[in-house]
Amino acid sequence: MATDLVNTSPEVRSAGEMLPDPAALARFLADHDLHSGGRTPSHDDLGQVLALRQEVRAILESTDEDHVAEQAGALVGRAGIGPGLHRDADGRWQWHVVTAPEVSLADELAVLIGVGLLAVLRTLSHDRFRHCASPVCNGMFVDTSRAGRRRYCMPDLCGNRLNVANHRARHPVPDAGKEGPSAT
């Protein structure tokens, strides 16, 4: 949708301004399944969207990915709370969620978890939310493996325990009181 908005500009369209009035803005929003709660866009709304269009264009034209992440995060943050991407100390992208200062720790964690789960849902799909395959574990996990074949919440613990149990079932240890085969 960012490019669709930018492409309504007279700089792009030889036909001129594609959002000349609030009615055109309403059509643009409807074409993108965005509904403003039944409210008809005003001239003030139109002016703000046209200013946003220029900001989005500048973001899209930026060649600095850090700047793009920062500015896109600023756009998300305008709603009061929202996720953004920031680089960690190793230069990797990490989710960062801005919350109101008075939010409780539990609510802040809920927001962070929710953003993470929505991201997994969007990128990997719901079938990646799984129960551990170990019969003695009630754990759950999100399978983020490339192949999508992870079976255990903690492979080093649950997977190894099950493998050891299966091995012992196939190869029972002889009783300590018995001696080897009799020579009779």
d(CA 20, CA 46): 8
Q: What are the φ/ψ torsions at residue 114 (nearest 5 degrees)?
A: -60, -45
Domain count, the chain: 2
Q: Give the residue from 37, 61, 85 where a domain finishes.
A: 61
**84 within domain boundaries:** no
**98 within domain boundaries:** no
**95 within domain boundaries:** no
> What DSSP line would sit under 20-55, residue for residue?
-SHHHHHHHHHHTT---TTPPP-HHHHHHHHHHHHH
d(CA 123, CA 143): 12
pLDDT at 181: 57
pLDDT at 115: 65
**72 within domain boundaries:** no
**75 within domain boundaries:** no
Cα distances from 55 to residues 11, 58, 65, 71, 172, in angstroms, run: 14, 5, 15, 9, 70
Q: What residues in the chain have per-residue pLDDT under 70? A: 12-14, 35-38, 73, 76-82, 103-113, 115-119, 126, 131, 137-139, 176-184
Contact 84, 98 (CB under 8 A): yes
Q: Give the number of other CB atoms < 10 A from CB of residue 16.
A: 8
Domain housing 30: 1-61
**28 within domain boundaries:** yes
CA 121 from chain center: how many Å?
7
pLDDT at 118: 66
- pLDDT one-digit tens code per residue, 47-83: 988 988 888 888 878 877 788 777 776 776 666 566 7
Question: What pTM, to 2 d.p., does this model score?
Answer: 0.50
Among all chains, which residue has been given the structure tokens 């009783």?
175
Q: Give the residue from 23, 42, 61 where a domain finishes.
A: 61
- Rounded to 10 degrees, the C-alpha dihedral 44/49/52/53 comes to -140
